Structure 1
Amino acid sequence: MSSRFNFSIPLTPFTTTRRRRWKRLLPVAVAGAMVAVAVTAWDNGDWRLNLSPSEPMGIWSVTPMTPMTRLQVGDVVTLCPRLPSGYHYGWLEDKKIHAANACADGRAPFLKTIVAGPGDTLRETGDGVVIGGLPLPDSRPLPFTTSKPQVRLPQWRGTVTLKAGQYWAYGAGDPRFSFDSRYWGPFRRAQVRGVAHPIAVWKYAWTPRVDD
């Protein structure tokens, strides 16, 4: 006489619940690992973790500039522009870093989109920017920062035809609150650190918090 035994153990509610919990935590763990890798790569100058809504937020790959790099309208770049003197920039203090690719003042390079280049004529007034006769969307400059306490922002005004090696920067993510060429004017090729490409990004419509 032979006997057959079934050693299979049915899943208990506890085991099923634990598996479901791990499935819920897996995306969080993967996202955390991606952020950790991005921060490490950012320290080496290869990647950029962008937390500013002026460009899509998330992880960007940065290709360092070389003498052969050709910049063109539509490129997203990291750059260290020269900011106008006589203004208080303490509200940028939280963007200071300690990395090999930091700007000379210790701040992280800005991440901006090139919207005009050599030969383009643009005009900026208090109502916004016009490039080649076409208005730049949401380009009306702010007179003050949205931080508390509010600080007066520099204002670039006038009409200019960009020369060789000159470009105009714009925050194409949420331009309403981007600190770009509207405030510090054209930038030079020599101020660009690299060309950025999105890896895992999303747009975020940011609204300043109003304290009562």
Structure 2
Amino acid sequence: MIHLRKNALSFPYTPFTTQRRHWKRLLPFAVIGAIVAGSVTAWDHGDWRLNLSPSEPMGIWSVTPISPGTKLHVGEIVTLCPRLPEGFHYGWLMDKTHAANACADGRAPYIKIIVAGPGDMVHETDRGVIIDGHPLPDSQPLPFTTSKPQVRLPQWRGTITLKPGQYWAYGAGDPRFSFDSRYWGPFLRAQVRGVADPVVVWKYRWTPKVDN
């Protein structure tokens, strides 16, 4: 052992240097793995959210639970558990029954952006949604899901001026396929779980598979 220490002082110890450089190359992957593992663990405790839906940018989100004094604003992204219309099948929605902060029906809270609030006028037709005279891009509702087999979707139609405590949800990641207020109408502040902020996210333009 003493002889090796003397050599180490007299000559560069190349194997150790090579090994250290090797670990430096692996460090980014280790950090990414730790972030993903931590996010999945934190998701079960309601602090972070691993979003795999293209409705909003996919990736890791930080979720801050709302308190009675939290004010919601247009432009904020929230997690919520809206009340869905009865008489429709929702088995195609991804379940998260193991999550500690799941909705009452066992599914993960949706992550959506608020595009209208109290006092705003929302008008929806088969061609899309208009808020205070401004059309929402890519907001034409779909009659059926893109899953196989296809399932009929609920359809909200009409004009409403949102009352205090009412908001309109929209999926701004890839709104063409977002399951939002176009289908279940306004949501209530009481149905909001938290305010979401992006940590590591990316936009994904999803294309459903079409049978030939």
| TM-score normalised by L of structure 2 | 0.89
Aligned length: 205
State the match for 2:52 in structure 1.
51
Q: CA deviation at 1:39?
A: 1.0
Please state how far the C-alpha of 1:11 moved relative to its aligned partner: 4.3
Task: Write out per-residue CA displacement over residues 15-61 of structure 1, whole angstroms, 9 at most, x where no aligned residue.
Answer: 88866764554332221110111111111111111111110111111
Distance 1:24 1:205, change over 3 A: farther
Counterpart in the other structure of 2:33: 32
Letter in 1 for 2:60: I
Which residue identity is paired with 1:189? R
Residue number in structure 2 paired with 1:142: 142
Q: 1:32 to 1:84 in 2, by over 3 A?
A: same
Residue aligning to 1:61: 62
Rounded Cα–Cα distance in structure 2 between residues aligned with 1:36 and 1:153 = 35
What is the one-letter code of the residue matched to 2:72? L
Q: What residue in structure 1 maps to residue 152 of structure 2? A: 152
Amino acid at match of 1:118: P
> Could you tell me which residue of structure 1 aligns to residue 172 of structure 2?
172
Structure 1 residues 77-112: Cα deviation after superposition (integer angstroms, max 9, x where no partner): 0000000111111101x3323222110011100000
Q: Distance in 1 between matches of 2:173 and 2:9?
A: 61
Alpha-carbon distance between aligned partners in 1 of 2:18 and 2:95, rounded to the nearest angstrom: 42
Q: Cα distance, 1:152 vs. partner?
A: 1.0
Name the counterpart of 1:8.
11
1-side partners of 2:155 and 2:116: how far apart?
A: 18
The whole-number CA distance in structure 1 between the counterparts of 2:175 and 2:82 is: 18
Task: Quickly say closer, same or farther: Cα 1:101–1:10, change in 2 above 3 A.
Answer: closer
Identity %: 76
Write the distance in 2 (CA, Å) between the matches of 1:100 and 1:69.
22
**Residue of structure 1 equivalent to 2:3:** none
Distance 1:24 1:55 in 2: 32
Pairwise CA distance, 1:205: 1.1
1:9: how far off? 4.6
**Unaligned 5+ residue runs, structure 2?**
1-7
Q: Which residue of 2 aligns with 1:191?
A: 191
Residue 201 of structure 1 deviates from its aligned partner by 1.1
Closer, same or farther in 2 for the Cα pair 1:165/1:20, shift >3 Å? Answer: same
Instruction: Return the alpha-carbon distance in structure 2 between the equivalents of residues 23 and 209 of structure 1.
Output: 41
Alignment pair present for 1:81 and 2:113: no
Task: Measure, in 1, the Cα distance between the counterparts of 2:211 and 2:137.
Answer: 28
- The one-letter code of the counterpart of 1:29 is A
- C-alpha distance in structure 2 between counterparts of 1:97 and 1:24, whole Å: 38
Residue in 2 that maps onto 1:101: 101
TM score, norm. by length of structure 1: 0.89
Q: CA RMSD in A?
A: 2.0
